[in-house]
C-alpha cells in the first residue's frame, strides 16, 4: 500500500501472548475522517478521537486489543493521552496527528507498563509488509483476520483502497463496526472523505447485526495520503472512488457477520414494497435483531411466522393481508397466506446453505432496505459466558 506502513506485536496486554498492539503509520500527513459509536457509554479513545479528528489530518493510529479502556474515568483519559505522547516521541510526529483505539474488556485500567515497552517495539516493527500482523493484533473473539483490498482507475491512473476490521460480537452498529480502518492512496479533502465514508457506512456497517449490542468503542477510520497522484476533485472521480470504497466496506461488513460469535450462516433480509424508507429500515432491522428468527435459521427451520411477527412489531406501517415472503426464490407466503407444507419443505432445503437471502414484500409502496445478519447458536452463549474467565 503506497505510503503506509503497518505493524502488530505481542506486547503482553493479553494473557495468551497473542499479538495485541498494532500501528498504522502514514509516511506523510493524510486527510482523515472517522465515525464513532452512538453509545452514550464511550471509551477514552473515542472521546479523544472525536476531538483529534477535527483537524482533518492524521499520520498514525495506535490500536490495542485485550482492553477497551472504557469506564476507566480520569485515569483512562490520562493513560490514552500518555500513549499518544509516547508514540509522538517514538515516531517524531505531532501529538495531534495521532489517533488511539482500544478493544477488549470494559472497566479494567490499561496496563501502562506494557505500553511503555510495547510502543517503541511496535514502531520498530513498522513495515510495508506488516498488514497481516496489524490485522491480527486488533482481534478479540474473532476467529479470523479481516482484510479487503480493491483497486480502481481514474483518468487511467490506478488507486487502491485497503480495509482492515475486527468484530465478531457486540455488533449492532449505529454507525460503523467495532473497529475498522480504511487506508487510501488518493488525494481527497477531509470533508469530502467524511461524506464518502458516511455513504459507504450507511450501505454496509450500519446494515449488519450479530447480537443486537452496540459497542462502547465502535469506530470507523479512513486515511487518504494522495500517494497514487489520483485526485478526487469532481463528480465523475468521486463516483468511481465511492464505488470502490462501498465495495471495501460492504465486504468487510459481511466478513464480520460471517465471523459472528457462534455463527454458522449469513443471512440478508431484503424488505421491499414499504410506504417509506424509514418503514423499510425498521422492518429489516427488527427482523435482523430477532433472536427467534436467528435461532430458527440456525435450526434450519423456515419458521416464517417469526419473520412476519417481527415485522408486525417493528413500528412500521404494514398490512398482513398484502405480505409476501420468499426464501431465495421459494415463496412461503403470498397475499398474507401460508402456501403450505410443500413450500416449507423446499425452503428448509435452502436453509442448509451457508448464505441465504430472505425477501419480505410488504406490497404497500416503492421503498426498500436490507440488513445482513447471522444465526444464533449455543456457541454464542458459551463464548460470552466465558469471555472474562
Residues known to be catalytic? 177
Calculate the alpha carbon distances from 26 to 88, 91, 225, 226, 383 in Å. 13, 11, 7, 11, 36
Helices (H), the chain: 44-52, 73-91, 112-124, 131-137, 190-203, 235-258, 277-289, 291-298, 304-312, 341-350, 378-385
- Report helix, strand or coil for 206: helix
What DSSP element (H or E) covers 219? strand 219-224
Q: Which of 159, 157, 163 is nearest to 186 (CA)?
A: 159
Q: Which of 228, 224, 229, 213 is nearest to 178 (CA)?
A: 213
Calculate the alpha carbon distances from 238 to 20, 167, 192 in Å. 36, 29, 9
Torsion from C-alpha of 236, 240, 242, 248, nearest 10 degrees: 180
For strands 367-374 and 355-361, give the pairing: unpaired
Quickly tell me which residue has 467495532 as its cell.
178
Grid cell listed for 142 = 474473532
Calculate the alpha carbon distances from 237 to 39, 167, 233, 295 in Å. 35, 31, 7, 44
129 contact partners, CB below 8 Å, separation of at least 6: none
CA-angle at 19, arms to 14 and 24, nearest 5°: 120
Any idea how long the chain is?
A: 389
Compute φ and ψ for 276, nearest 5 degrees. -130, 160
- Report helix, strand or coil for 252: helix
Helical axes 44-52 vs 73-91, angle rounded to 10° = 50
Amino acid at each position: 500500500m503506497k505510503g503506509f506502513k503497518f505493524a502488530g506485536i505481542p506486547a503482553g496486554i493479553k494473557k495468551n501472548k497473542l499479538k495485541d498492539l498494532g500501528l498504522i503509520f502514514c509516511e506523510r500527513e493524510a486527510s482523515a475522517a472517522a465515525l464513532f459509536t452512538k453509545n452514550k457509554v464511550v471509551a477514552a479513545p473515542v472521546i479523544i478521537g472525536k476531538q483529534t479528528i477535527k483537524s482533518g489530518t492524521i499520520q498514525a493510529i495506535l490500536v490495542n486489543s485485550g482492553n477497551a479502556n472504557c469506564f476507566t474515568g480520569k485515569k483512562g483519559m490520562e493513560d490514552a493521552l500518555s500513549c499518544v505522547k509516547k508514540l509522538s516521541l517514538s515516531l517524531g510526529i505531532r501529538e495531534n496527528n495521532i489517533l488511539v483505539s482500544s478493544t477488549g474488556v470494559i472497566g479494567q485500567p490499561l496496563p501502562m507498563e506494557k505500553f511503555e515497552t510495547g510502543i517503541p517495539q511496535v514502531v520498530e516493527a513498522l513495515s510495508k509488509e506488516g498488514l497481516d500482523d496489524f490485522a491480527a493484533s486488533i482481534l478479540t473473539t474473532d476467529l479470523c483476520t479481516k482484510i479487503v483490498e480493491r483497486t480502481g482507475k481514474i483518468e487511467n491512473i490506478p488507486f487502491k483502497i485497503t480495509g482492515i476490521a475486527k468484530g465478531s460480537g457486540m455488533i449492532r452498529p449505529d454507525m460503523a463496526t467495532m473497529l475498522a480502518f480504511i487506508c487510501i492512496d488518493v488525494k481527497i479533502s477531509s470533508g469530502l472523505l467524511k461524506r464518502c465514508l458516511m455513504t459507504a457506512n450507511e450501505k454496509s456497517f450500519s446494515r449488519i447485526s450479530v447480537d443486537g449490542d452496540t459497542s462502547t468503542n465502535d469506530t470507523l477510520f479512513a486515511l487518504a495520503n494522495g500517494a497514487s497522484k489520483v485526485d478526487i476533485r469532481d463528480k465523475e472521480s468521486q463516483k468511481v472512488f465511492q464505488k470502490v470504497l462501498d465495495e471495501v466496506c460492504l465486504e468487510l461488513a459481511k466478513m464480520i457477520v460471517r465471523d459472528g460469535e457462534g455463527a454458522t450462516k449469513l443471512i440478508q433480509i431484503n424488505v421491499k414494497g414499504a410506504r417509506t424508507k424509514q418503514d423499510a429500515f425498521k422492518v429489516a432491522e427488527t427482523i435482523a435483531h430477532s433472536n427467534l428468527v436467528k435461532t430458527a435459521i440456525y435450526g434450519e427451520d423456515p419458521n416464517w411466522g417469526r419473520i412476519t411477527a417481527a415485522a408486525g412489531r417493528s413500528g412500521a406501517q404494514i398490512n398482513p393481508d398484502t405480505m409476501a415472503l420468499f426464501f431465495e426464490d421459494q415463496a412461503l407466503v403470498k397475499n398474507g397466506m401460508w402456501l403450505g407444507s410443500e413450500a416449507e419443505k423446499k425452503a428448509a432445503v435452502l436453509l442448509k446453505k451457508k448464505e441465504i437471502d430472505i425477501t419480505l414484500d410488504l406490497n404497500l409502496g416503492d421503498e426498500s432496505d436490507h440488513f445482513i445478519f447471522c444465526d444464533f447458536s449455543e456457541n454464542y452463549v458459551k463464548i460470552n459466558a466465558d469471555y472474562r474467565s
